[in-house]
Amino acid sequence: MFLADIKKKIPNTEIVPVALTKIKKAGLRNVILEIDLGDATYNFEQFPVENLCHLILKWIRWCKEHLGRESKMFVSLRDLPDAMPTDADRVFYVISFIAKLPQDLRPIGMMFEEPRGHSLPEECGTWTRYIRRVMDEHRWTGRLLVHVHEKFGFMDATAIEVFV
């Protein structure tokens, strides 16, 4: 969702993402903020995770100001299966940051996707339990959704495993 300089792998922190401007123009109020936490999208050595968290907060505030105080948001961790094996600390840092936001800014929930069918059901289940634990530790009763594609027949097993 965040605009990035592809060569430098740094998000543009000034230009409002196109998706948000289109949502506003269409008169919609509810948003899914998609976030990438793996190294494939951003260079976290040049753009530290703390800066990403401040950018997330900036766009949440933008939504509240431009889409209405009652607008609802989900945060989608688009590349969780890529980020977890090597960057789990980054993932949980972002989840904790969002979970600690004031009630009026906190999204109504979080979601992640297993798009390729490469993760085992047990992996998705473990990620779900740890994400929920972080949310609960900060008294964030938001929804937690998991979107699993059918690839390789793991969809049903994964859906059963992540049910908490």
Structure tokens at 96: 């904790």
Contact (CB, 8 A) for 162 and 143: no
- 7 band by pLDDT with thresholds 50, 70 and 90: low
Q: What does the alpha-carbon distance between residue 134 and residue 141 come to, in Å, rounded to a whole number?
A: 11
| Residue-range domain boundaries for the chain | 4-115+122-162
DSSP letter (8 states) at residue 146: E
Q: Rounded mean pLDDT of the chain? A: 88
- 146 band by pLDDT with thresholds 50, 70 and 90: confident
In this prediction the pTM is: 0.87
Which fold does the domain 4-115+122-162 belong to in CATH? TIM Barrel (3.20.20)
Q: What does the alpha-carbon distance between residue 130 and residue 146 come to, in Å, rounded to a whole number?
A: 13
Contact (CB, 8 A) for 139 and 102: no
Q: What does the alpha-carbon distance between residue 59 and residue 94 come to, in Å, rounded to a whole number?
A: 14
Q: What is the mean pLDDT of residues 2-30?
A: 84
- 147 band by pLDDT with thresholds 50, 70 and 90: confident
Structure tokens at 40: 């494939």
Residue 5 has a pLDDT of 55
User: Amino acid identity of 158?
Assistant: T
Residue 139 has a pLDDT of 95
Alpha-carbon distance values, 161 to 85, 127, 128, 156 (Å):
19, 10, 9, 9
Q: What does the alpha-carbon distance between residue 91 and residue 75 come to, in Å, rounded to a whole number?
A: 12
Residue 113 has a pLDDT of 85
The string of pLDDT tens digits covering residues 37-96 is 998 889 999 999 999 999 999 999 999 999 999 999 999 999 999 999 999 999 999 999
The string of pLDDT tens digits covering residues 118-128 is 777 888 889 99
